[in-house]
Amino acid sequence: MSDDRLGQQIAFLVQADRLKTILRRTPLTDNSRQENSAEHSWHLALAALALSEHAPAGVDLARVLQLVVIHDLVEIDAGDTFAYDPVAHATKTDREHAAADRLFGLLPSDQRQLFRARWDEFEAQATPESRFANALDRFQALLLNSQSGGGSWATHRVMRSQVLTRMAPVQSALPALWPYVLDVIERACTAGAIVRD
């Protein structure tokens, strides 16, 4: 291994540590503070392991783990875009592509290509693994919001239709979890954490 290759990998890992500083809108389940994006990535990896039996047949779990660990790294530069903020979503793609270019560009060329390919795969939602990973991403936020008294839903007065639209990937990629999702949404509406429309 060349010193240059190791230096590139170390530079990337040092930058990746900054993901711990990116706060998301979703609170921890005890509602004590907002989770950071690194915590979110770890929780998604754990969710992939714990819920793998609900994945579509033939899904490559190792690939799913790569997707969930890599997909939010761009937030180091682009920030976390709140799911229910249409203004921020207008520039999200450009911000995240520029961040992917810079961050994955720190790696040696073979790893740069692999990490970028996994990030692009997650974004495209064209493989069973990426659809499963995306559904987990949506489900994890629902889980935290439901356990924290409504979390970001209540804070931002999110509408039921918005949550249903956001959770749609769960219905198609993790159909066994869909009844749970609907129950959470209904209970949140009844409690006033989600605005019923």
User: Each residue of 120-145: pLDDT tens digit?
Assistant: 999 999 999 999 999 999 999 999 99
Domain ranges of the chain: 3-191
Count the helix, strand and coil residues of the chain and give each as a percent rounded to the nearest 5: 70, 5, 25
- Does the structural domain 3-191 have CATH classification 1.10.3210.10? yes
* Residue 3 pLDDT: 79
Q: What is the pLDDT of residues 135-176, one digit of tens each?
A: 999 999 999 999 999 999 999 999 999 999 999 999 999 999
